[in-house]
Amino acid sequence: MTDFKQLELIEPILRAVAAEHYTTPTQIQARAIPVVLEGRDVLGCAQTGTGKTAAFLLPMLQRLTASPSSKKRSIRGLVLTPTRELAAQIGESCASYSQFLDLRHLVIFGGVKQNPQVRELRRGIDVLIATPGRLLDLYRQGFISFEAISFFVLDEADRMLDMGFLPDIKRVLALLPQKCQNLLFSATMPANIVNLANGFLTNPVRI
């Protein structure tokens, strides 16, 4: 059986995982973490409850820590998720997993005032967790830059398409820099998800 120490995670992340009382990586974590740390794209078939959030956040946080931003903090990791509830949950996990790291994250979603979100963006953010509508809205107003993004996660892709977010997803994909590491997670893999994945994942590892 694998344990977290065998996954080549750095000490501050192992400490955060221990603080969460995780002892053994879940199946998706054991398979995804090593390949994401190598820099590979991933096409992951996984439902909520499988530990997929840590499967993408832990190696993302490690990779962002390994290549700190040169000057002011800029958005280097972007997680796109369909609902505010999911965004908030991922934000809570990110807070726990990054508690011993020098990384700032922010959760943004619609239906609430944008001013507090804009204030936080101005202070500088390393990891942004967002729903598509508010992300594009703040981008169009000039509050968000995609230039420094090096790590992108499309979470719950099937649910995104069910909710009619395909046009927004395509807009976001068009804004991402060329040399971005991309991950897609979906509970189901119908043809439209595979097509979407083929459009932006490079030689992905399928999990």
Residues contributing to the site for ligand AMP (CB under 6 A): 22, 24-26, 29, 48-54
Q: How far is the CB of 49 from ligand AMP (least distance, A)?
A: 5
Q: How far is CA 75 from CA 14, 103, 121, 145, 152, in A?
A: 24, 10, 9, 7, 11
Nearer to ligand AMP, 93 or 150 (CB): 93
From CA 104, how far away is CA 127, in angstroms rounded? 6
Q: How far is the CB of 48 from ligand AMP (least distance, A)?
A: 5
Nearer to ligand AMP, 20 or 162 (CB): 20
Nearer to ligand AMP, 2 or 114 (CB): 2
- The conformational region for residue 40 under phi > 0 = left, psi -120 to 50 = alpha, else beta, is beta
Nearer to ligand AMP, 22 or 165 (CB): 22
- 205-206 and 127-130 strand pairing: unpaired
